[in-house]
A and B are shown apart, each in its own frame.
Chain A
Amino acid sequence: MSMLPREGLTLAGVALRLGGRRLLGPLDLQVPPGEVVTLMGASGSGKSSLLAFICGTLDPAFAAEGRVLLDGIDLAPLPPERRRVGILFQDDLLFPHLSVGGNLAFALPPGLARSERRERVAAALAESGLAGLEGRDPATLSGGQRARVALLRLLLSEPRALLLDEPFGGLDEQLRHRFRDLVFRRAAERRLPALLVTHDRADAAAASGKIVTVDEDFSNDHKE
Chain B
Amino acid sequence: MAPALRQIEIPYLRRRGWLSLLPALTVALFLLPVLAGVIGTLLPALGFLPGLGERTFSLRPLRELLAAPELPGAVIATLVSGLLATLLAFLSAVGLAASLQGTRLFVWLGRLTVPLLAMPHAALAIGFAFLIAPSGWLVRLAVDLLGGGAPPDLPVPGDRLGLTLAAGLWLKETPFLLLAVFAGMNQLPVARFLDIARSLGYGPATAWLKVILPILYGQLRLPIYAVLAFSLSVVDMALILGPTTPPTLATLLLGWFDDPSLAKLLPAAAGGMLQLFLAVAAILLWRLAELGFARAAGPWLAGGRRGHRGGAGRRWGAAAALLLLFLASASMLALGLWSLARRWPFPAPLPIVWGLGNWQGAGPDLARALTTSLLLASTATAIAVVLSLGCLENERRHGLHPSARALWLIYLPLLIPQISFMFGTTTLLAWLGLEASLPALIWSHLLFVLPYVFLMLADPYRALDERYRRTGLCLGAGESRVFFAVTLPMLLRPILLAAAVGFSVSIALYLPTLFAGAGRYITLATEAVAANAGADRRLAGVYGFLQAALPLAGFAIALLLPRLVFRHRRGLLMARGRP
Contacts and interface: CB of A to CB of B under 8 A. Distances in A.
Interface string B130-151: 0000000000000000000000
Contacts of B476: 81-82, 84, 107, 109, 157
A193 B11 CA distance: 24
A53 B2 CA distance: 21
B12 A77 contact: yes
Contact of B471 (A60, A89, A109): A89
B571 A55 contact: no
A213 to B, nearest CB: 19
B489 A80 contact: no
Interface stretch (B242-250, B423-431, B462-470): B462-470
Interface in A69-118: 75-87, 89, 91, 93-99, 106-107, 109
B474 A57 contact: yes
A96 B475 contact: no
A108 to B, nearest CB: 9
B455 interface: no
Given A53-B10, A63-B7, A65-B8, 8 more contacts: A63-B10, A76-B10, A79-B479, A81-B474, A81-B478, A81-B479, A93-B468, A96-B571
B10 A96 contact: no
A129 to B, nearest CB: 22
A17 to B, nearest CB: 9
B486 interface: yes
Nearest to A13: B6
Interface stretch (B166-174, B370-378, B562-570): B562-570
B473 interface: yes
A7 interface: no
Contacts of B9: 63
B490 interface: yes
A89 B399 contact: no
B503 to A, nearest CB: 24
A139 B571 contact: yes
A153 interface: yes
B535 interface: no
A85 B473 CA distance: 10
A127 B208 CA distance: 55
A4 B485 CA distance: 31
Contacts of B5: 65
Please classify the interface of chain B as helix (H, G, I), strand (E, B), loop, or mixed, using the class held by over half of its residues.
loop
A106 B472 contact: yes
Interface string B431-444: 00000000000000
Nearest to B486: A95
Nearest to A93: B471
A137 B12 contact: no
A208 to B, nearest CB: 25
Contact of A97 (B6, B401, B472, B569): B569
A11 interface: no
A85 B476 CA distance: 9
Interface string B555-579: 0000000000010111110110000
Q: Which of B9, B401, B467, B574 has the most CB of A within 10 A?
A: B467
30 contacts: A53-B10, A55-B474, A56-B12, A57-B474, A60-B13, A60-B398, A65-B5, A75-B12, A77-B12, A79-B12, A79-B478, A81-B473, A82-B476, A86-B474, A93-B468, A93-B471, A96-B571, A96-B572, A96-B575, A97-B489, A106-B475, A106-B485, A107-B476, A137-B571, A139-B569, A139-B570, A139-B574, A140-B570, A153-B475, A224-B1
A96 B490 contact: yes
B477 interface: yes
Contact of A138 (B14, B468, B571): B571
A58 interface: yes
Interface residues of A, number: 49
A142 to B, nearest CB: 14
| 9 pairs of A and B residues whose beta carbons are closest in the complex | A139-B571, A96-B571, A60-B399, A139-B570, A80-B473, A76-B11, A97-B489, A96-B572, A157-B475
Contacts of A207: none
Nearest to A157: B475
Contacts of A85: 474
Contacts of B11: 76-77
A202 interface: no
Residue in B399, B469, B492 with the greatest tally of chain A CB atoms within 10 Å: B399
Most buried by A among B465, B469, B477: B477
Contact of B7 (A53, A65, A98): A65
Contacts of B8: 64-66
A137 B570 contact: yes
A47 interface: no
A3 interface: no
Contacts of A178: none
A222 interface: yes
B495 to A, nearest CB: 13
Contacts of A98: 489
Interface string B45-65: 000000000000000000000
A61 interface: yes
Contacts of B401: 61
A95 B468 contact: yes
A157 B398 CA distance: 25
Contacts of B1: 224
B151 to A, nearest CB: 57
Contact of B6 (A65, A75, A77, A87): A65
Nearest to A60: B399
